[in-house]
Amino acid sequence: MHFLAYILRQTGKNLRQTWGTQVMTLLTVTLSVLLFAFFFLIYTNMLRASARLGDDLRLIVYLDQEIPEQKRPEIEKKIRDFGPVEKVVFVSRTEAFSRLSAQLDKEKDVLNDLGPDFLPPSIEVYPLKNLHDLTKISQFSDFLLTLPHAAKVQSGSDWLRRFGDFTSLLQVVVLLSGVLLIISMTFIISYTLRLTVVSRQGELEILRLLGATSAYIRLPLLLEGMLQGFLGSSLGLAALYLLYQWIASRFSGPGFLNLFDFAFFPPELTAAILLAGVVLCTGGSLFSIRRFIRI
Amino acid sequence: MPRDASTDKPLVELVSVTKIYPPDIVALEDVSLRIYKGEIFFLTGMSGAGKTTLIKLICRLETPTRGLIEVAGRDLSQISPAGIQRMRQKIGIAYQDFRLLEKQTVLQNIAMAMEVTYASTKAIRARVDELLALLNLSDKRDKLTGELSRGEQQRVALARAAANGPSLLLADEPTGNLDPAATELVINLFRHLNEKNGSTIVVATHDKSIYAETEHRVMDLRNGHLSAHPNRTPRQIELFEA
Ligand SMILES: Nc1ncnc2c1ncn2[C@@H]1O[C@H](COP(=O)(O)OP(=O)(O)OP(=O)(O)O)[C@@H](O)[C@H]1O
Ligand SMILES: [Mg+2]
């Protein structure tokens, strides 16, 4: 069975005959995949980060005066009556101070001048997970402000809202770059294939006269598109991975990336993007084969 | 090897075939013809008589305006495009205008015919060398066909047509550019294919030298009508009238 050998040899011949265009096509496919995967990577990380932030969400009620031990159950009951709450923690001035100095660890000397009373007491309210709706949270924080001695409520919901807005903006960018990816890939592949067909027109005509089957003529072209899709997507993903590694190594240590626990795509998602690239390019070549070849 | 027409099934059969090119050029009119397996068949006629048209109809490069064409017992109009391609692998055609790829070598041009049948590289090499030796072209194997003389190109076209050992060889004006010595080589190739391979051979020509002495059938096309060649031998009369 020399069939496969023929198809492969024919594919190689096609690639050699139009190699300049082939390289440009490969670059275009690579860049398209890189662009899309870049935004997609940021997006998936943002999604994960916002899920984590949601887990950490708590409402802090700063008080202008310490609440004595015996009055605490009463206030806690008031809070629980308003809405479902996982837990309520009362933090006194001294507790707040010792927490901060534990956090500062070696630099806790800076606190020496301030004395243990400079931090306000507070109540930390951890809402149940089902309360992670932003409007409900802001209702909750409005309510908490009505508690006796409440001076200020920090809900983090502003920040969460901005984060959410950014995530949905990113969603649009991902969608757009996805559409761009689909268009540019199918377009460039079918354009390149047309060039191949045109450059081989005389040969294709003779092949038809000699009785070449449609598999003999079409499969190499299909394979060409498939190969472009595979190589282009692999290169695009590889480039993104290198970029990711570079960023991760430069910004290692405490900071933005650590906060979000920035991570590369899991293997399945990488494979899915690769597969999508192959499918798109194969589709593009199928399209132009049907348009430009009559056999 | 002439055949007894009454018992053999024809390999090619045309029944009342008319071919009109648009708008109204009548190339063939009501042509009926049977060509038998193993026959060498000469088709003569002046320029414009319709010889090339008839050959193109047999390999379905053209479709008849009216009438029926059967090859190996199958109605061509009923065969799928894929079936036609498979059929063409078994029919060798040497075109009047050669249809060679001028930027490829003699070897590559001939090899193409065998490559579409997925023949092995080794088999292709051996066959090409054999054919080139038969046609006295061995030293031209790696030359681009565009750099060859017309006579040489003509023989390359013939070699390509013969490459697969076709059961039917259609040669359109195969000796138009050849001197007597080269013509002899071509006749020998036909004989070789016919005897060793059992190939049926159809030769369209107005070169009297190749059919004058033949004992095979010669038919004449004139203004799209087919008739026995006027100068036929008694043997040919016998065959034609059978
Ligand atoms: N594609 C075509 N379109 C229109 N007319 C055509 C076409 N091909 C051939 N003809 C006409 O049909 C007639 C027969 O042509 P054909 O080529 O079959 O002749 P021929 O016998 O092969 O001539 P020659 O000996 O010069 O090769 C001619 O009048 C020619 O002009
Ligand atoms: Mg002709």
Q: Are residues A37 and A17 in the same domain?
A: yes
Q: Which of B18, B19, B20, B21 to mutate to test the pocket of ligand 1 (most atoms within 8 A of CB)?
A: B21
Q: Are residues A81 and A20 in the same domain?
A: no
**What is the ipTM, given to two decimal places?**
0.88
B1 — pLDDT class (breaks 50, 70, 90): very low
B134 — pLDDT class (breaks 50, 70, 90): very high
- For residue B50 and ligand 1, the question of a CB distance below 6 A is answered with yes
C-alpha distances out from residue A286 to A12, A59, B135, Å: 18, 57, 42
Residue to substitute from A1, A199, A208, A210, interface B, most B β-carbons within 10 A: A210
B30 — pLDDT class (breaks 50, 70, 90): very high
| B232 vs B119, more confident | B119
Amino acid occupying residue A107: E
| A113 vs B241, more confident | A113
- Look at ligand 1, atom 4, and give the residue with the nearest C-alpha: B21
Rounded CA gap, A36 and A174, in Å? 7
- Please name which of A216, A182, A221 lies closest in space to residue A199, comparing C-alpha atoms: A221
Q: Are residues A142 and A271 in the same domain?
A: no
pLDDT at B166: 95
Query: Does a structural domain hold residue B40?
Result: yes
Q: Which range, of A280-294, B134-148, B174-188, B201-215, averages the lowest pLDDT?
A: A280-294
pLDDT at B234: 55
Q: Are residues A76 and A26 in the same domain?
A: no
Q: Are residues A63 and A48 in the same domain?
A: no
B142 — pLDDT class (breaks 50, 70, 90): very high
A86-139 pLDDT, tens digit per residue, is 888 888 888 888 888 777 777 767 777 777 777 888 888 887 765 556 677 778
Mean pLDDT over A144-159 rounds to: 78
Rounded CA gap, B177 and B157, in Å? 12
**pTM value?**
0.74
pLDDT at A81: 85
Number of structural domains (chain A) is 2
Highest mean pLDDT among A104-118, A207-221, B5-19 belongs to A207-221
pLDDT at A134: 66
Query: Does a structural domain hold residue B112?
Result: no
**Number of CB atoms found within 10 A of residue A172's CB:** 11
Q: Are residues A131 and A64 in the same domain?
A: yes
Decide if pLDDT at B113 tops 50.
Answer: yes
Please tell me the number of the ligand nearest to residue B62's CA. 1
Are the Cβ atoms of B85 and A3 closer than 8 angstroms?
no
Of the candidates B61, B85, B160, the beta carbon closest to that of A213 is on B85
- Look at ligand 1, atom 17, and give the residue with the nearest C-alpha: B52
Number of structural domains (chain B) is 1
Query: Does a structural domain hold residue B199?
Result: yes
B169 is in which domain, residue-wise? 10-101+147-241
CB within 8 A of B74, min separation 6: which ones?
none
**Tokens describing residue A249:** 């190594």
B136 — pLDDT class (breaks 50, 70, 90): very high
Highest mean pLDDT among A52-61, A102-111, A279-288, B46-55 belongs to B46-55
Query: Does a structural domain hold residue B52?
Result: yes
A256-273 pLDDT, tens digit per residue, is 545 556 788 999 999 999
**Tokens describing residue A109:** 């000397």
Which residues of chain A does B112 touch, with a Cβ-Cβ cutoff of 8 Å?
203, 206-207, 210
A162 — pLDDT class (breaks 50, 70, 90): confident
CB distance A190 to A230 below 8 Å: no
pLDDT at B15: 93
Q: Are residues A13 and A83 in the same domain?
A: no
- pLDDT > 70: what percent of chain B? 91
Query: Does a structural domain hold residue B49?
Result: yes
CB distance A59 to A153 below 8 Å: yes
A203 reaches B (C-beta below 8 A): yes
Q: Are residues A167 and A130 in the same domain?
A: no
Q: Which range, of A6-10, B151-155, B191-195, averages the lowest pLDDT?
A: A6-10
Query: Does a structural domain hold residue B123?
Result: no
Query: Does a structural domain hold residue B142?
Result: no
B7 reaches A (C-beta below 8 A): no
Domain ends where: A155, A177, A200?
A: A155
CB distance A116 to A97 below 8 Å: yes
| A156 vs A14, more confident | A14
A55 — pLDDT class (breaks 50, 70, 90): low
Highest mean pLDDT among A37-51, A143-157, A267-281 belongs to A267-281
CATH number at residue A82: 3.30.70.3040
Q: Are residues A45 and A66 in the same domain?
A: no
Decide if pLDDT at B160 tops 90.
Answer: yes
Query: Does a structural domain hold residue B26?
Result: yes
Rounded CA gap, B44 and B28, in Å? 14
CB distance B88 to A209 below 8 Å: yes
Residue linked to tokens 């194969």: A282
Decide if pLDDT at B107 tops 90.
Answer: yes
CB within 8 A of A288, min separation 6: which ones?
A189, A190, A191, A193, A194, A197
Q: Are residues A139 and A210 in the same domain?
A: no
Q: What is the mean pLDDT of chain B?
A: 89
Decide if pLDDT at B237 tops 70.
Answer: no
CB distance B198 to B37 below 8 Å: yes
Q: What is the mean pLDDT of chain A?
A: 82
Which residues of chain B does A4 touch, with a Cβ-Cβ cutoff of 8 Å?
none
C-alpha distances out from residue A44 to A70, A157, A196, A239, Å: 47, 21, 38, 18
Domain ends where: A155, A180, A207?
A: A155
CB distance B65 to B77 below 8 Å: no
Domain ends where: A125, A155, A185?
A: A155
Return left, alpha or beta for B36; rule: phi > 0 is left, psi -120 to 50 is alpha, else beta. beta
- pLDDT > 90: what percent of chain B? 73
- For residue B49 and ligand 1, the question of a CB distance below 6 A is answered with yes
Are the Cβ atoms of A211 and B61 closer than 8 angstroms?
no
Rounded CA gap, A152 and A162, in Å? 20
pLDDT at B6: 47
Decide if pLDDT at A159 tops 80.
Answer: no
pLDDT at A1: 59
**Tokens describing residue A13:** 């011949």
- pLDDT > 90: what percent of chain A? 15
Q: What are the beta bridge partners of residue B200?
A: B168
Mean pLDDT over B46-64 rounds to: 93
CATH number at residue B184: 3.40.50.300
A47 is in which domain, residue-wise? 2-53+161-292
Decide if pLDDT at A54 tops 60.
Answer: yes
Q: Are residues A265 and A200 in the same domain?
A: yes
Q: Are residues A171 and A280 in the same domain?
A: yes
User: What are the strands, taking DSSP E only, across chain B?
Assistant: 10-21, 25-36, 40-45, 66-71, 74-75, 91-94, 168-172, 200-204, 217-222, 225-228
